[in-house]
Amino acid sequence: MSLNEYFQTHIFAPLGLYNTSMFPTPQIRYQLAHMHQKTMTPEGPKTRSRDHPYRRPLFISPAEIPSVYNSADAGYFARPTDYVQIIAALLNNGLSPTTHHRILAKTSIEEIFTNQIPQLPDFGRKAIKAAKVTYTNDIPQLYPQPSEQP
């Protein structure tokens, strides 16, 4: 079973998300927002369209899908409302407030929200430089938080 199939079966279907996939349907492709990039020129900021970093899933045939690497950290196509359903389940101890299906055990959710690096209490306050300036921006703080909160 591919990672995409696993997510479809164990996360997206229980949450009622049928338009979320690593391989967009024709309907998703039709509604896909085009990517743009803003650059500074001597005349001021200029915006231009750019190619999608996950271009291959947009144009492959169904027969080619098994040859595409399924990355857990990126590459899903979904509506913003679908992402909200996933976040809502995480914030509701793994239980969907809409479909009432559980996607994670409460103990798993507790582990997700537990500090995994207590030896680095200020890790979230460190700045992160853009790894690829065409895709990301500098992040002044990973997790902005009050100064008294470790």
Task: Tell me the CB-side half-sphere exposure of residue 9, using CA atoms within 13 A.
Answer: 6
Count, residues in the chain: 150
Distances 139 to 2, 49, 58, 133, 135 between C-alpha atoms, Å = 33, 24, 29, 12, 13
User: Which pLDDT does position 111 carry in this prediction?
Assistant: 95
User: Which pLDDT does position 39 carry in this prediction?
Assistant: 80
Which tens digits make up the pLDDT trace of 93-104? 999 999 999 999
Which tens digits make up the pLDDT trace of 44-89? 888 888 877 667 777 788 888 888 888 776 678 888 899 999 999 9
Average pLDDT score over the chain: 86
User: Which pLDDT does position 150 carry in this prediction?
Assistant: 65
Task: Tell me the CB-side half-sphere exposure of residue 147, using CA atoms within 13 A.
Answer: 0
Over pLDDT 90: what percentage of the chain?
Answer: 32
* Mean pLDDT value across residues 96-122: 92
CA gap 88, 128 in Å, rounded: 27
Which residue would you say has higher pLDDT here, 37 or 94?
Answer: 94
147: pLDDT strictly greater than 80:
no
131: pLDDT strictly greater than 70:
yes
User: Which pLDDT does position 54 carry in this prediction?
Assistant: 66
CA gap 7, 20 in Å, rounded: 9
User: Which pLDDT does position 57 carry in this prediction?
Assistant: 77
Q: Are 78 and 91 spatial neighbours (Cβ–Cβ below 8 Å)?
A: no
Residue position matching structure tokens 């921006």: 137
